């Protein structure tokens, strides 16, 4: 019997084939059998079988003899092998040594080990599936908890958004979290605060715009209407467009006693409601003075009244340029006074009834309302001819700029006036529209930086054409 440490048992057997006396062979062979191996009775042919623990499936001696006839190695079955070793001395054969090995126990042990390993693999696989299931279940539970923890603040944000949409800005989202949702909640609350502030600002702005609209309406109501006004031989047309809701430009005309007509144009510095209030104050002073017809003799009185009304008004001193003219329709004269206003024109009408040459009324003075300087007003007087057109304007007209920054200018205005026929009130109204459209077209959509105001006043006493020609060439 052969054994190895930690290995299964292997059964073996030996057969000694001798030609001598079987009894001696058995005795001699038995004495050499290790570990007390048993010896079976010999065959008649002298074949001896010795074994220690032969398995039940071990082949018989006859089968072994038949199996090894002419062969050295034979396989009885899948678990039994036999080896035949000849014994010779020189050339003389003495017999054969037969060795048989059975691996049934080894295969059985291997089978048991394989089954055990398979069982352990199955057990490990089951444990892995159980562990994976537990991990998956734990992940699902954690995901659900995380979803619930995230869904609650998101629901609060959604609810607050609905409240804001309904106009409720008093509620706020809790800011207890320190993650992205907490940041979102803080930003959301900040947004709600800003929306509330913006709504208040919008309400204040709407109220201010309403007040500005009322102020603009009042200011426009104080200006002359767009209709052509006639005072005997004098026709008056004007235009005033503020750069903002309220402007500092204004103009007026009024009939005085003795066939006289008063025309005033003014421009308070800046534009807006403050300038509009100063303009209204100045116009009120002129209206009050004009009501005292008996004491109004010269246009410089008008400018002095304006200066007295606006000087030292408010903390922010607003200056005003102004031009006042009194047309005496009986004498055919124009008396004027200038306080820093742009120089007006008198455009003569030629023999063919068209406007031709222009006379510039170049008189200047200091702006009104300055408490730090002495009031200085320049005056002058001109004789009017039949068909003459008096043109007065503020700096917003000639300083209207296009996108390139170029100004409309006096020369362009004079070129626009020359060659125009102004024979009746309809022609005067057409000329006013022509000037308005020319300025707007030149600006090419650019917003005006200052108020635009101009006055067209034509002196056209009734007379025969021949008399008009003589007056035009005088």
pLDDT, one tens digit per residue, over 454-466 is 999 999 887 644 4
For the residues 1-12, what does the mean pLDDT come to? Answer: 38
Burial class (CB in 10 A: 0-12, 13-18, 19+), 445: exposed
Dump pLDDT digits (tens) for 54-64: 445 444 444 54
Q: How far apart are CA 57 and CA 102, in angstroms?
A: 9
- The confidence score (pLDDT) of residue 96 equals 67
Q: Token digits for 390? A: 């008096």
For the residues 404-431, what does the mean pLDDT come to? Answer: 91
Of 102, 123, 149, the last residue of a domain is 102
Answer yes or no: do 158 and 195 share one domain. yes
Answer yes or no: do 232 and 146 share one domain. no
Considering the chain, what percentage of its residues have pLDDT values greater than 90?
32
Residue 5 lies in a domain: no
Higher pLDDT, 91 or 257: 257
- The confidence score (pLDDT) of residue 291 equals 80
Q: How far is CA 357 from CA 43, 323, 419, 472, in A?
A: 166, 22, 10, 11
Answer yes or no: do 186 and 136 share one domain. yes
Burial class (CB in 10 A: 0-12, 13-18, 19+), 369: buried
Is pLDDT of 442 > 90?
A: yes
Higher pLDDT, 321 or 40: 321
Dump pLDDT digits (tens) for 239-286: 998 887 777 889 999 998 889 999 999 998 876 777 888 888 888 888
- The confidence score (pLDDT) of residue 464 equals 42
Answer yes or no: do 168 and 262 share one domain. no
Answer yes or no: do 461 and 354 share one domain. yes
Say if residues 338 and 323 touch (Cβ distance below 8 Å).
yes
The Cβ of residue 435 has, within 10 Å, a number of other Cβ atoms equal to 22
- The confidence score (pLDDT) of residue 125 equals 92
CATH number reported for the structural domain that contains residue 205 in this entry: 1.10.8.500
Q: How far apart are CA 437 and CA 416, in angstroms?
A: 11
Q: Token digits for 186? A: 């803080």
In three state form, how does the secondary structure of 213-238 look? HHHHHHHHHHCCCCCCEEECCEEEEE
Of 166, 188, 222, the last residue of a domain is 222
What is the band of 32 on the pLDDT scale with cuts at 50, 70, 90? very low
**Strands 47-51, 38-39: pairing kind:** antiparallel
Answer yes or no: do 246 and 303 share one domain. yes
Question: Which residue(s) pair with 322 in the sheet?
Answer: 266, 340
**Which stretches within 17-103 are classed as H helix?**
22-31, 61-67
Residue 1 lies in a domain: no
Find how far residue 101's CA is from the centre of its chain. 91
Say if residues 366 and 340 touch (Cβ distance below 8 Å).
yes
Chain position carrying tokens 């800046």: 270
User: Alpha-carbon torsion 403, 404, 405, 411, what sign?
Assistant: negative
Chain position carrying tokens 């000694």: 16
Q: How many residues does the chain have?
A: 474
Residue 288 lies in a domain: yes
Answer yes or no: do 302 and 443 share one domain. yes
Answer yes or no: do 218 and 228 share one domain. no
- What's the CA dihedral at 34, 36, 42, 47 to 10 degrees? -20
Q: How far apart are CA 194 and CA 184, in angstroms?
A: 15
Dihedral class, residue 353 (left if φ above 0, else alpha if ψ from -120 to 50, else beta):
left
Answer yes or no: do 283 and 428 share one domain. yes
Answer yes or no: do 358 and 437 share one domain. yes
Is pLDDT of 323 > 50?
A: yes
CATH number reported for the structural domain that contains residue 433 in this entry: 3.60.40.10
Residue 6 lies in a domain: no
Answer yes or no: do 296 and 373 share one domain. yes
Residue 3 lies in a domain: no
Is pLDDT of 10 > 90?
A: no
- Number of structural domains found in the chain: 3
Of 190, 222, 254, the last residue of a domain is 222
Is pLDDT of 12 > 60?
A: no
Chain position carrying tokens 């807006």: 272
- The confidence score (pLDDT) of residue 216 equals 72
Residue 97 lies in a domain: yes
Higher pLDDT, 466 or 233: 233
Say if residues 451 and 241 touch (Cβ distance below 8 Å).
yes
Chain position carrying tokens 């003589």: 470
Is pLDDT of 370 > 90?
A: no
Say if residues 405 and 371 touch (Cβ distance below 8 Å).
no
Q: Token digits for 363? A: 């008189």
Dump pLDDT digits (tens) for 166-194: 777 777 777 767 777 777 777 777 777 88
Q: How far apart are CA 235 and CA 138, in angstroms?
A: 97
- In this structure, what are the phi and psi dihedrals at residue 26, rounded to the nearest 5 degrees? -65, -40
The Cβ of residue 163 has, within 10 Å, a number of other Cβ atoms equal to 14
What is the band of 314 on the pLDDT scale with cuts at 50, 70, 90? low
For the residues 30-41, what does the mean pLDDT come to? Answer: 37
What is the band of 66 on the pLDDT scale with cuts at 50, 70, 90? low
- The confidence score (pLDDT) of residue 455 equals 97
Is pLDDT of 204 > 70?
A: yes
Q: Token digits for 214? A: 């009322």
Find how far residue 199's CA is from the centre of its chain. 21
Answer yes or no: do 97 and 143 share one domain. no
Residue 25 lies in a domain: yes
**Strands 80-89, 92-102: pairing kind:** antiparallel
- The confidence score (pLDDT) of residue 42 equals 42
CA atoms within 13 A on the CB side of 229: 19
Note down the domain range covering 160: 115-222
Q: Token digits for 227? A: 């209709």
Residue 351 lies in a domain: yes
- In this structure, what are the phi and psi dihedrals at residue 357, rounded to the nearest 5 degrees? -80, 155
Q: Rg of the Cα trace of the chain?
A: 64
- The confidence score (pLDDT) of residue 243 equals 80
List Cβ neighbours of 42 (8 Å cut-off, separation of 6 or more): 22, 25, 26, 48, 49
Average pLDDT, the chain: 77
């Amino acid at each position: 019997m052969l054994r190895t440490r930690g290995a299964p048992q292997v059964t073996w057997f030996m057969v000694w084939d001798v030609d001598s006396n079987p009894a001696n062979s058995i005795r001699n062979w038995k004495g050499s059998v290790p570990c007390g191996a048993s010896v079976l009775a010999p065959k008649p042919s002298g074949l001896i079988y010795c074994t220690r623990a032969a398995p039940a499936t071990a082949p018989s001696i006859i089968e072994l003899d038949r199996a090894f006839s002419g062969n050295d190695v034979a396989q009885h079955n899948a678990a039994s092998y036999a080896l035949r070793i000849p014994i010779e001395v020189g050339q003389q054969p003495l017999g054969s040594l037969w060795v048989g090995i059975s691996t049934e126990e080894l295969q059985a042990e291997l089978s048991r080990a394989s089954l055990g390993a398979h069982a352990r693999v199955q057990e490990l696989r089951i444990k892995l599936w159980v562990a994976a299931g537990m991990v998956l279940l734990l992940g699902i539970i954690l995901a659900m908890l995380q979803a619930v923890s995230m869904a609650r603040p998101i629901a609060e944000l959604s609810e607050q958004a609905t409240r804001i949409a309904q106009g409720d800005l008093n509620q706020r989202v809790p800011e207890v979290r320190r993650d992205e949702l907490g940041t979102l909640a803080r930003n959301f609350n900040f947004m709600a605060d800003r929306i509330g502030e913006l709504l208040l600002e919008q309400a204040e702005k709407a109220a201010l715009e309403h007040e500005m609209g009322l102020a603009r309406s009042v200011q426009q109501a104080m200006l002359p209407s767009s209709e052509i006004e006639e005072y005997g031989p004098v026709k008056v047309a004007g235009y005033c467009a503020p750069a903002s809701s309220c402007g500092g430009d204004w103009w007026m005309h009024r009939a005085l006693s003795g066939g006289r007509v008063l025309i005033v144009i003014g421009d308070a510095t800046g534009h807006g409601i403050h300038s509009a209030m100063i303009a209204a104050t100045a116009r009120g002073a002129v209206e009050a003075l004009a009501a005292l017809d008996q004491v109004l003799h010269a246009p410089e009185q008008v400018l002095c009244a304006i200066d007295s009304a606006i000087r030292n008004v408010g903390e922010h001193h607003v200056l005003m340029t102004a031009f006042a003219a009194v047309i005496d329709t009986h004498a055919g004269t124009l008396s004027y006074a200038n306080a820093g206003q742009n120089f007006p024109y008198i455009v003569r009408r030629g023999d063919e009834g068209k406007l031709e040459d222009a006379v510039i009324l170049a008189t200047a003075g200091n702006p009104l309302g300055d408490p730090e300087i002495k009031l200085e007003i320049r005056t002058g007087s001109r004789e009017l001819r039949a068909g003459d057109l008096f043109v007065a304007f503020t700096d917003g007209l000639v300083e209207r700029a296009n996108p390139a920054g170029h100004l409309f200018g006096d020369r362009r205005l004079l070129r626009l006036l020359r060659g125009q026929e102004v024979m009746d009130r309809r022609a005067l109204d057409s000329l006013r529209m022509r000037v308005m459209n020319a300025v707007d077209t030149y600006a090419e959509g650019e917003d005006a930086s200052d108020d635009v105001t101009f006055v067209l006043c034509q002196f056209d006493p009734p007379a025969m054409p021949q008399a008009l020609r003589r007056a035009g060439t005088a």
